[in-house]
A and B are shown apart, each in its own frame.
Chain A
């Protein structure tokens, strides 16, 4: 057994190995999480059949009500997804399925629209916390990676003695020094963000990850714990179920009655949540004496993550039946932490801040991964085989995933709009592109491989506005234009990175030896 190394040494080893082994996974989690900041906008971009009619929610509700009265007059419930700033589509459904079939209708004419099927920006959101694995397994794997991230962050702080001084240190163009400085600067600069986003990510599924308190105090019955959180919730749910679709009301429908115009409830809801803060409206037993209207806020109506919250009104009199009870303090802490992670509050400025921070986080992880190979390459030539494996895995996980994400956007526009199982084909392109990048990374010399994959992603991103103009049915609206320009900007960044790679003077002699004459022909 060897002598116990010093604290800095052991922490350095811990940082290096957790960072390396889970860095690949963490990069995927952070990059898709960053893209998921704009998931709705990407959804909108990926369904160009939809058009922003610029109507306010009150008139959209009237359109939706007319459609529902014409098509589902006897339904037990109506659900209306309201157009919002991030998602100007109007959707309707009848019956109780909350997540089931939604019908999209034109917010002006009320005509039914059938947009293309797409994985959408929602794919990035789901991938971010499940890695496209079965949900439960994915949540655990991502949770494990997040714990490793916490360990890597804290051990990174411990080995970083001159944390303040190094923050102002950047020595560009000096190979390993520059990579180290870049990794340190991006890590230190956004240290609060890295810590916050990692810890709050774990907190979202806290009872799943750590069921100890549930096991000890509630005999492992999580439902009992949840019931105790909202004492009123269970009865209300029961009542709602009875009212919406319970047997008595289905056998003998209540007498019909005239409801207040639904747009009035928009005003009532906005009085409580604020203007533009509503996301949906539903009516139970529409047109009956026991009709009820529920108005739901956007997730980001405040810092707390308000999932499943609603105001309930009597649809005939407009009387407020139920306001959401204030959350108890301990749960509020959890929900605010979850809200900090979801970044639904604060509108677009906050969204952009999270997006940029997420990009820096992803870059920090990627630079750490590259730093490992740069450092080892200088230290010894004996680790050649191992180093080569790390090098191509780095490229496949970092460069390959970026390429796959852009490929998904291109596939969305280039695959035929009426293709059967279209969503599946988009994902096949995503994973196919990733696999191709993996093989490419395996076969190419490292620098050459980086150059080619960065350039490929850059070209696809720079071409995004052109693709949009060529394939969209109308002039790009505010949201699509935003996606186009953001893609173009990111493409420019990647092109810059590719140009930097191409300027490397054959990197090191060793790299050149491994791939003779490769670097000589590299042009910017």
Chain B
């Protein structure tokens, strides 16, 4: 990474993609996981919502580290996983006309 500056051109697009994936992708992933977790935790609705949200910052951190630790291609696995999590979290809303 320290060679970013000296080597220039070829490294930057890759690094930029990684940063965007980590920051924006990471937020979307965390958002989805938090929603799914809030849905799945066997607690009262309010307790599940708070517990899942309290954990979200740890999830985001781990995701960012993971994106930087693995080749970018592997990180793409997060996309289908995010879709599934979104379905778990928001499926009941989307398919039941907003009924919670």
Q: Does A71 contact B (CB under 8 A)?
A: no
**Given contacts A150-B61, A154-B61, are A386 and B46 in contact (CB under 8 A)?**
no
Q: Chain B's nearest CB lies how many Å from the CB of A200?
A: 10
Q: By the criterion CB–CB under 8 Å, are B34 and A213 in contact?
A: yes
Q: Does A228 contact B (CB under 8 A)?
A: yes
Q: Does A225 contact B (CB under 8 A)?
A: yes
Q: In the complex, what distance in Å separates the CA atom of A23 from the CA atom of B8? A: 23
Within the complex, which residue of B33, B34, B50 is in contact with A331, where a contact is CB–CB below 8 Å? B50
A214 CB contacts on chain B under 8 angstroms: 49, 53
Q: In the complex, what distance in Å separates the CA atom of A206 from the CA atom of B50? A: 9
- Which candidate, A13-21, A103-111, A277-285, A448-456, is the interface stretch facing chain B? A13-21
B70 CB contacts on chain A under 8 angstroms: 4
Q: In the complex, what distance in Å separates the CA atom of A14 from the CA atom of B21? A: 14
Q: In the complex, what distance in Å separates the CA atom of A253 from the CA atom of B31? A: 52
**Given contacts A154-B61, A217-B100, A219-B98, are A334 and B46 in contact (CB under 8 A)?**
no
**Given contacts A203-B57, A213-B38, A334-B54, are A225 and B93 in contact (CB under 8 A)?**
no
Q: In the complex, what distance in Å separates the CA atom of A334 from the CA atom of B53? A: 10
Within the complex, which residue of A4, A213, A229, A328 is in contact with B71, where a contact is CB–CB below 8 Å? A4
Q: By the criterion CB–CB under 8 Å, are B53 and A206 in contact?
A: yes
Q: Does A321 contact B (CB under 8 A)?
A: no
**Residues of B within 8 Å of A, CB-based: how many?**
45
Q: Is the interface of A mostly helix, strand, loop or mixed?
A: helix
B38 CB contacts on chain A under 8 angstroms: 212-213, 216-217
Tell me which residues from 263 to 298 in chain A have a Cβ below 8 Å from any Cβ of chain B: none
Mask for A326-345, Cβ within 8 A of B = 1, else 0?
00111101100100000000
B6 CB contacts on chain A under 8 angstroms: 380, 382-383
Q: By the criterion CB–CB under 8 Å, are B43 and A386 in contact?
A: no
Q: Chain B's nearest CB lies how many Å from the CB of A379?
A: 8
Q: By the criterion CB–CB under 8 Å, are A213 and B52 in contact?
A: yes
Q: Does B1 contact A (CB under 8 A)?
A: yes
Q: By the criterion CB–CB under 8 Å, are B65 and A155 in contact?
A: yes
The 23 listed contacts between A and B (C-beta, < 8 Å) are A2-B14, A4-B71, A13-B1, A147-B61, A150-B60, A155-B68, A202-B57, A206-B54, A210-B34, A210-B57, A212-B31, A212-B32, A212-B52, A213-B37, A213-B52, A215-B90, A216-B90, A217-B38, A225-B49, A228-B46, A331-B50, A337-B54, A380-B6
Apart from the given pairs A17-B1, A154-B65, A213-B34, 11 other A-B contacts in the complex at a CB distance below 8 Å: A5-B1, A16-B2, A151-B64, A202-B57, A206-B54, A210-B57, A217-B100, A219-B98, A330-B47, A330-B54, A331-B50
